[in-house]
Amino acid sequence: MEKYYLAVDIGASSGRHILGTVKEGKLELQEIYRFENGMKQKDGQFCWDVESLFTEIKEGMKECRKLGKIPLSMGIDTWAVDFVLLDGENRMLGNAAGYRDDRTKGMDKKLYEVISLKDLYERTGIQKQIFNTIYQLMAVREETPEYLEKGETFLMIPDYFHYLLTGVKMQEYTNATTTQLVKAETGTWDYELMKKLGLPERLFGNLSMPGTTVGPLTGAVEQEVGFSCQVVLPATHDTGSAVMAVPLCPVEEESTEDILYISSGTWSLMGTELSKANCSAESMEANFTNEGGYDHRFRYLKNIMGLWMIQSVKKELEEKGEAYSFAELCRMASEEEIASIVDCNDSLFLAPVSMIRAVQDYCQSSGMAVPKTPGQLAAVIYNSLAACYGNTVKELEAITGRSYPAIHVVGGGSNAEYLNRLTADRTGRTVYAGPGEATAIGNLLAQMLAAGEFESLKQAREAVYRSFAVKEYKPDSPGLPFYPAKGKPVNKHEQMEEKI
């Protein structure tokens, strides 16, 4: 009898339910449900509609019953840094504010009155991003301190959904590290830091690792969805799950610290895996972060603005009546010769009123050619991303003292062929692109490892390699199909998928 596992993968713009099973050492996936997501304005804040999202989670679960494929376990992953506060009666205090809300403006200065950026990095190893949880909590402290007074529980967004499913409150490690409140050396909450910042220690309990069983569905949820199963923690930070699914390709790395990856989606997370966090001044100056990973690994990476920029441009063009697919934008970009490059990590591009205007203004103020057509705008963004990847490779090799001959691009952005070619050319490295559903696959792997389907993460990654077609891009050469060593070569990514 086949064993099924359910990954609920929720991103900033959409969510999906994917069933996974293992057959003859290979992973098989089936997407059974998809729904939209996005921040909404509420009470003057950009917020997540967590009530609606939980309804969608349950609706997707009902599809399992309809298909007759009841999962042995399920787990939810989402984006990082955002959270909810619950009072003593488990009611939400305030809104589930989103990371693009401007409430954190100026909170870094408030924080540095208590602890310097240097000391904070030495303790946590987490790069400064003004939307990090620590700055959000400073905003709560300054604007609505009563929430901290009444609060009894702090839960990251996926932790909250797991609680709604099971009635059990668990705080998962990989996502918790993005709060900038976890000690890199011990992997536990930094209660001394919390005390300095005036954050109640009672909000933060023991941290649990991916693979931990949360518990069965509550009776109410079981009755509603039509079945019961165990909820098992994946790496609830979507990048943590995506990195778990980096396949072991023919150029086998000697260790996880030889892997260079880009988890490409709304954000581009580029880095490697380390067994010990690098909290050096050099690392801080380069703005690298040490996020928690599976089995106490560290995802040593840099946050790059990513495909958020092209997603925003695409949306603006649609609002003007110019509808283009991502594939069309890539094709048009490849036909342009505009040489302008913007700094993708500039805060101007975090949440502009108009991404098109932000890119144009940056180019104009820098004395570069101003992109005017959709193709030129796309070319500037894609070339800028590739240039940023090239700079990041140089920084990473200088800091770690290692050499990375290849880059593994996973996630929805792995389907952007033009960007993959540019990345190979800009970095001078071979790019292995795929799988596109890396986050959901990593979510499933954590559950499968807990169930004994695989003996180790290495074995699981080898199964990813056998299961999904990966495409190879050499510097200064067109992308050529690259397939697993065994099995019929069928190019699953010949056509770019619309999901970026």
**Six-digit token string for 108:** 């870094």
Q: Is 77 helix (H, G, I), strand (E, B) or coil?
A: strand
Quick check: helix, strand or coil at residue 481?
strand
Concatenating the DSSP letter of every residue in 203-251 gives G---EE-TT-EEEEPPHHHHHHHT---EEE---SBHHHHHHHT----SS
**Residue 153 neighbours by CB under 8 Å, 6+ apart:** 85, 86, 90, 169, 203, 205
> What span, in angstroms and rounded, lies between the C-alpha atoms of 282 and 369?
34
Annotation says 295 is catalytic = no
To the nearest 10°, the Cα dihedral for 311, 312, 315, 320?
A: -140
Name the 3-class secondary structure at 304.
strand
Q: Burial level of 428, CB count in 10 A (0-12/13-18/19+)?
A: exposed
Closest CA relative to residue 198, chosen from 223, 212, 181, 213: 181
Long-range contacts of 23-28 (CB under 8 A, 24+ apart): 25/463, 25/466, 26/463, 26/466, 26/467, 27/441, 27/444, 27/463, 27/464, 27/467, 27/468, 28/467
Question: Exposed (0-12), middle (13-18) or buried (19+): which is 88, by Cβ within 10 Å?
Answer: exposed
Helices 326-334 and 374-400 cross at an angle (nearest 10°) of 90
Q: How far, CA to CA in Å, does 311 sit from each of 325, 340, 445?
A: 10, 19, 29
- Altogether, the residues listed in the chain come to a count of 500
Measured distance CA(95)–CA(110) in Å, rounded: 22
Please identify which of the residues 9, 77, 101, 238 carries the catalytic annotation. 238
Per DSSP bridges, beta strands 26-36 and 40-42 are unpaired
Spatial distance between the Cα atoms of 432 and 465, rounded to a whole number of angstroms: 11
Structure tokens at 336: 């342009």
Q: Which two tokens stand for residue 48?
A: 């997540």
Can you tell me the distance from the alpha carbon of 349 to that of 360, in angstroms, rounded to the nearest whole number?
11
Active site residues: 238
